[in-house]
Amino acid sequence: MLSDGVRTVSLGGVEHWVRVAGAGNGGVPLVLLHGGPGESSYSIEQSVGDAMAKAATVVFYDQRGCGRSARPTDTGTYTMPQLVADLEELRTALGLERIVPWGVSFGCLLAAEYAVAHRNQVDRLILHAPPIVDPLHPGLWTMRPGAVDPFLTTAERVALRGQLDELTDPIERTIAAIGAIAQSENAAQFFYYDPANIPAALDDAPESNLEVAMALVGKERRGLADDLAAADLPTLILAGLWDRHIGFDIPRDLAARLPRAELEIFPRAAHSIDEEQPAEYVAAVHAFLGR
């Protein structure tokens, strides 16, 4: 039986920070798979974690090298197969027969890959802003500079376009675009539907691990959408109408091709739906779990 609290669990030879909340609710536990790559579960815990645990059992954990988990001695283990193996080991260590992977952004890729590899251990899926594209899609990273460009000032736009003229690699172009918007005076408009929803910075928030990000960005498997459709799982897709990181078309099109997908659209949210429409977010997940 699960019990609430924080513990350390060794997964793939790395000590992982794990927190269980709402264990008394019973049911198949949600397992949060945070984004980044290289971030942590901290922001979701702060925004909707406690509210989610009022009606569901939730397992929060930070992936290897991320947040409050230890960093492996071998950075070559920052791979998707290893993250999938870690998650399966976590399920076993907690004595869970099945789980509901709850992916957020990059975490949706991990949720989907786990579901494909361990179909019988997955009850259903929750995908918040999934960057899972059709094999014929030009690719998320190819589109990132175009998503950033409209929100820059004229001078910033000229500078970025000049920088991009010398770059051909999609990841290098993405890094340039992200750097431009992060330093822009209009940055808040890119990241949030309403800049007033930006949460206050907290001193104890874990730093991101750029090594993890650089190891995993651009490594998305082209056939994942096809394989996920074949897995035929009940899936809730959460999409912010103003999401400029993933865009709205990617989650919309994924919902259209998965046989048992439900698409929940949040009209007053960008990428961080949990921060901009938290009550509606929690209600949508709880309703899905109750069906």
Q: Tell me the residue type at 207.
A: E
Question: What are the boundaries of each domain within the chain?
Answer: 5-133+200-289, 139-185
With contact defined as beta carbons under 8 Å apart, do 115 and 125 qualify?
yes
Q: What is the rounded end-to-end Cα distance, in angstroms, of the chain?
A: 24
Residue of 141 and 104 predicted with greater confidence: 104
* Statement: 5-133+200-289 belongs to CATH 2.40.100.10: no
Residue 284 DSSP SS3: helix
Q: What is the C-alpha R_g of the chain?
A: 18
Q: Is the pLDDT of residue 278 over 80?
A: yes
Which tokens is 15 given? 């000590």
Q: Which helix H or strand E contains 7, and what residues bound it?
A: strand 5-11
pLDDT tens per residue, range 173-228 = 999 999 999 999 999 999 999 999 999 888 889 999 999 999 999 999 999 999 99
Over residues 53-76, the pLDDT tens digits come to 999 999 999 999 999 999 999 999
CA dist 108 and 272 (Å) reads 14
- Measured CA to CA, the distance from residue 108 to residue 100 in angstroms comes to 12
Q: Which band of pLDDT confidence, cut at 50, 70 and 90, is reported for residue 139?
A: confident
Say if residues 269 and 240 touch (Cβ distance below 8 Å).
yes
